[in-house]
Chain A
Amino acid sequence: MTLSASLNGAEQRRPSRLGRMLEDRLPYLIVAPAILILLLVGLFPLIYSLIVSFQRITMTENDTSFVGFLNYAELFRDARLWAALGHTAIITAIALPLELLIGFLMAQLFIDRMPGRQLFVALLVLPTVISPIVAGATWRLMFDIRFGPIGEILSFIAGEPVRILWTVNPAYVYPAIVICEVWQWSPFMFLLLLAALSNVDQSQLEAAEIDGASYLRVLRAIVLPAIAPVVAVACLIRGLDLVRIFDIIWALTEGGPGSRTETISLYTYVQGFSQFETSYTAAISFLVIALLTLITTLVLKRMELAR
């Protein structure tokens, strides 16, 4: 069953009992509560933000007159903003595939029965559960050149002292962030894929095994198509979350050195939270939403076409 097929609506069977009225309205009834809550909390703030983005509200000014696209024009002149978007793109492009790959490998490792699996799985979820703030702070301590074990371990492996200033040296800041991020979120992919793999049709797999199909063949022909819907959504969700990455970077580098690791959410935070540029922040937010919508739509369209 493909995503697009389901999107185009499956057949409905006329029930033999219960009023047709209720049945007919059921799809809408069960959608309603969720949508209601989303509207409540999603609509007003967005409209408010949109209006504000056309005003000039800053820390000290409360100018609610319409200033047109002033804030948006400024977006294009803001080099720091575009640098932030670039940094975000880099991190997302590197971390997402890594998380997917590692998560998949881990899921393959644990999908079949083995005694003690319960414990392994529960333990492996821990990194995701730890607050990102603490994860970032812990890795910072671990990367520390004097108090941290990473330097020791690397020195041991290399056979000579390894002295890397992970959070200061521009060459190593991104690896540090990606390591921490992938460490924390691969278990997410792992768990999701585990659930998806467990739903793969057993009988098909057994049939393939009897036929003597190679592992890779089985993977490509049976497993991947079956888990594709879940993988797609997982990547989408995780991708969107990566774009909003904040806590880990804040704890590791606070966007430094300089502004080198400043992602879009850090920049927005500094603008909106520390410096109260309410209107400008609103404009940035809509730019981000627009970009993300564009990317997501493109990606979804390509997924549809691939079917």
Chain B
Amino acid sequence: MRVGKLPARKARILALRYLGAGVVTLLFLFPVYWLFMISFKTPDEIYHVPPLWIPGQIQFSNYYVLFKDGDVLAILNSLIVAGASSGIAIVLGTLCAYSLARFGTGGENLAMWIISQRMIPPIAVVFPIFLIYVYFGLVDGYFGLILIYTAFNLPYVIWMMRGYIVDVPLELEESALVDGLNRWEVIWKIVFPMVRAGLMATSVFTFVFAWNDFLFALVLTRTEVITFPVMLTHYFGGQSNFWGKIAAMSVLGTLPIFVAVSVMQRYLVRGISLGAVKG
């Protein structure tokens, strides 16, 4: 669709779409904007009546303090833990999803059992898991957190990817098999690329789930591997509220995902597909 040569009707629709996009973005981003502004405000501006829409001046001292005090390490820790657990969950989970989708492995029972893992209230299992981790010396370490986040993301990945895989026409795989590829190659060379959009969408959220988890990070760590959410809660005191740090830390914390999504989102939308399906 080349913009310059659009007929009037299409141009009108496009303009409306931009308007809609603008309004939607404004609505959704307003709180983010507010938070962003707080990271620059002084306490007097934060508690100002009536509320201030723009801070007096843009000063980066809140961000500077985070770097100076080493709080930013929490973001690094979260990146490592969320990234690793996400990656592992995506790979293992999609493979598992393929098996469920194409072979019906384990039938409905297995599928149900997998999704039932997500029904377990974390509170119910956090203490027993803590006990196991104490026994195996996994507390306050990267491996322990990565393991638990992978485990908690697997059901999500498996179920989501099964849905996307099911959308891939069987004929594609069958013709590939006829062409002489074995199943393993079919998975990696045909199926994975076809569900790229689904992979991207799913991986964004496995990352986010691991990134934002608070309960396990709180219980399973002490001082060595403090993750982003735990660090944040340190700023909410009973008798203190480091709003500047909360906001600055939050802004910093959204940057990695913002970048990742910007990069990945071209796979999410129409325009780049592996050719028409039937032809």
Contacts and interface: CB of A to CB of B under 8 A. Distances in A.
B121 A285 contact: yes
Interface of B: 1, 3, 14, 17-18, 20-21, 24-25, 28-29, 31-32, 34-35, 38, 46-51, 53, 92-93, 95-96, 98-108, 110-112, 114-125, 127-129, 131-132, 147-148, 150-152, 154-156, 158-160, 162-164, 166-167, 169-170, 174, 177-178, 180, 182-184, 187, 197-198, 200-201, 204-205, 208, 211-212, 214, 228-229, 232-233, 236, 243, 246, 250, 253-254, 257-258, 261-262, 265-266, 268-271, 273, 276-279
B119 A48 contact: no
15 contacts: A6-B101, A10-B170, A18-B182, A34-B95, A37-B150, A41-B152, A42-B151, A114-B18, A131-B232, A138-B31, A146-B50, A194-B269, A195-B201, A202-B277, A296-B115
Given A37-B151, A139-B31, A146-B51, 17 more contacts: A6-B102, A6-B166, A15-B182, A16-B180, A17-B182, A23-B183, A37-B147, A40-B151, A112-B1, A129-B254, A131-B232, A149-B51, A152-B50, A187-B28, A194-B197, A199-B273, A203-B276
Nearest to B47: A147
B191 to A, nearest CB: 12
Nearest to A247: B214
A75 interface: no
A113 B106 contact: no
Given A30-B95, A237-B159, A133 B233 contact: yes
Given A37-B151, A38-B154, A237 B118 contact: yes
Describe A's contact surface by its main secondary structure: helix
A142 B34 contact: yes
A70 to B, nearest CB: 18
Contacts of B25: 120, 123-124
Nearest to A112: B270
B270 A113 contact: yes
A138 B34 contact: yes
Interface in A235-264: 236-237, 240-241, 243-244, 247, 264
Contact of B232 (A134, A202, A273): A134
Contacts of B169: 1
Contacts of A124: 24-25, 28-29
A284 B265 CA distance: 41
Interface in A109-164: 109-115, 117-135, 137-139, 141-142, 146-149, 152
Ranked nearest first, the 10 interchain pairs of A and B with the lowest CB-CB distance are A285-B124, A9-B104, A45-B125, A45-B128, A41-B151, A292-B119, A48-B128, A34-B96, A27-B103, A195-B197
B120 A285 contact: yes
B105 A31 contact: yes
B93 to A, nearest CB: 6
Contacts of B152: 41
Contacts of A17: 180, 182
Contacts of B158: 34
Interface stretch (A61-69, A91-99, A170-178, A225-233): A225-233
A268 interface: yes
B219 to A, nearest CB: 9
Given A110-B21, A125-B257, A129-B254, A147 B120 contact: no
Contacts of B257: 125, 129
